[in-house]
Chain A
Amino acid sequence: MDKTVADLARAVAPITDGASIMIGGFGSSGIPFGLIDALCAQGTTGLTVISNNAGAGETGIATLLKAGRVAKVICSYPRTPGSIWFERRYEAGEVALEVVPQGTLAERIRAAGAGLGGFLTPTAYGTRLAEGKETRVIDGRGYVLEAPLHADFALVRAEHGDRYGNLSYHATARNFNPVMAMGARHTIAEVRHLASEPLDPETVITPGIFVQGVVEYGVRP
């Protein structure tokens, strides 16, 4: 078994127009910058991007927004200092936005990866973000029924990876990467170090079964 891919361009080649893509990262930490740049260079468009943020400055998800490749963003916090390209596209009505509470976003992705039909969460009960959703009161407390969030692809960033697709992370760069690897149908991992020997099983955070492609990209943000 060997899931390594020779370069970034080949790693993102399966992604086609109109795909839904989970992109790991929080702020500038744990973002697969190399894969995003390769996807942008490939010209793929009409994308639905699922991520915590909507990019900042001219890098990461902002490069896709700037190039007009994103039809919809599903995220918890699109407004970060420097998120100019999201704000421009949003104000011009060129990108749709679905805001999801951060914990609900993570859990909807997990539900997709874990084969669940949804879950009941107290988060957002009674607020605008629960409008139109089924609710239930359990032991006197209100809950909102949330659906699994599937995606065609996930682009994730890890510190170490091996040919089996096993991944480990560095510090707060872990964030959404493990759950997105689980949630998407096809996960592509950009790793800072591609190990020549399999990772120590005790150190594996994302088991390789959740990963379909591994590509080395040593550049740090």
Chain B
Amino acid sequence: MKSLSDSALAARVAQDIPDGSYVNLGIGKPTHVSAHLPEGREVLYQSENGLLGVGPVPPTGTEDPELIDASKRFVTPATGAAYFDQTDSFAMMRGGHIDIAVLGAYQVAENGDLANWATLDEKYPPAVGGAMDLVVGVPTILVMMRHVNRDGSPKLLKTCSFPLTGLGVVSRVYTDLAVLDVTPAGFRLVELAPGNSLDAVQALTEATILT
């Protein structure tokens, strides 16, 4: 198996972000997508804590402690940025004003169900943040994740076993092994990461991959 690095995966997702989009990048791996946006495209990234137009991380020593993104990283405002409060921020999401969200996931099912906020471990406190608001309002939900769990168990399933974030909301999944569209018939292969075979990727996927 040839697994894409996190950076290569972020670059692959970035290729599919059109010029002029408003995009929300979830915490973790998705935050790296903006660094790989192809030249010549202008995209405004929304951070749900109240910034539309997330710019680069500031040089050390110039950080503003009250200017952070949803991952709590210090950031700068991009050209054309705006600040706003939480009610406006979530109106942007639920109201369908954001074009694309890129999210991490514990599990994705072949009908587009997404599980990314709680596990089955009762001792581990669940944390939903803005994920449920994003998936109901943003028309294109892209998931970016490892193809399998650390123990090798599949994350692309017939049915999610973890509590759901949203029902039938995922448009496309990018993993270190493949890109898959969610269609009414199930996962359909868009492309394999270089050096991988469909048989090998299918063996690591509980759901059937259509071609």
* A positions within 8 Å CB-CB of B: 26-30, 52, 76-81, 86-87, 90-91, 97, 99-107, 110, 121-129, 169-179, 205, 220-221
Contacts and interface: CB of A to CB of B under 8 A. Distances in A.
B37 to A, nearest CB: 22
Contact of B132 (A30, A124, A173): A124
Given A123-B136, A170-B66, A103 B94 contact: yes
Contact of B64 (A87, A171, A175): A171
Contacts of B128: 76-77, 99-102, 129
A23 to B, nearest CB: 13
Nearest to A173: B66
A30 B83 CA distance: 13
B85 A79 contact: no
Chain B facing A: main interface SS: loop
B136 A179 contact: no
A191 to B, nearest CB: 13
26 contacts: A26-B49, A26-B70, A27-B49, A28-B65, A29-B49, A76-B130, A77-B129, A78-B127, A79-B124, A86-B125, A99-B125, A100-B128, A101-B131, A102-B48, A102-B90, A102-B128, A102-B130, A102-B133, A103-B89, A106-B89, A106-B90, A127-B132, A127-B163, A175-B85, A179-B85, A179-B86
Interface stretch (B150-158, B164-172, B189-197, B200-208): B164-172
Contacts of B123: 91
A91 B125 CA distance: 8
A54 B192 CA distance: 41
Contacts of B129: 76-77, 101-102
B66 A172 contact: yes
Question: Quick one: which of B126, B130, B137, B164 has the most chain A CB within 10 A?
Answer: B130
B93 A103 contact: yes
Given A99-B127, A172-B67, 5 more contacts: A103-B89, A121-B136, A171-B77, A205-B85, A220-B65
B107 to A, nearest CB: 14
Nearest to B129: A77
Interface string B89-121: 110011000000000000000000000001000
Contacts of B127: 76-79, 99
B211 interface: no
B60 interface: no
Contacts of B69: 172
A123 to B, nearest CB: 5
A128 B131 CA distance: 14
Contact of A29 (B65, B126, B130, B133): B65
A107 B92 CA distance: 13
Contacts of A178: 85
Shortest 6 CB-CB contacts between residues of A and residues of B? A103-B90, A103-B133, A106-B86, A173-B66, A27-B72, A171-B67
B144 interface: no
Contact of A175 (B50, B136, B165): B50
A178 B132 CA distance: 23
B69 to A, nearest CB: 8
B68 A127 contact: no
A121 B50 CA distance: 20
B74 to A, nearest CB: 10
Contacts of B72: 27-28, 80-81
Interface in B40-87: 47-51, 64-70, 72, 77, 83-87
A90 B125 CA distance: 8
B85 A103 contact: no
Contacts of B90: 102-103, 106-107
Contacts of A86: 125
A11 B70 CA distance: 30
A103 B65 CA distance: 24
Nearest to A73: B125
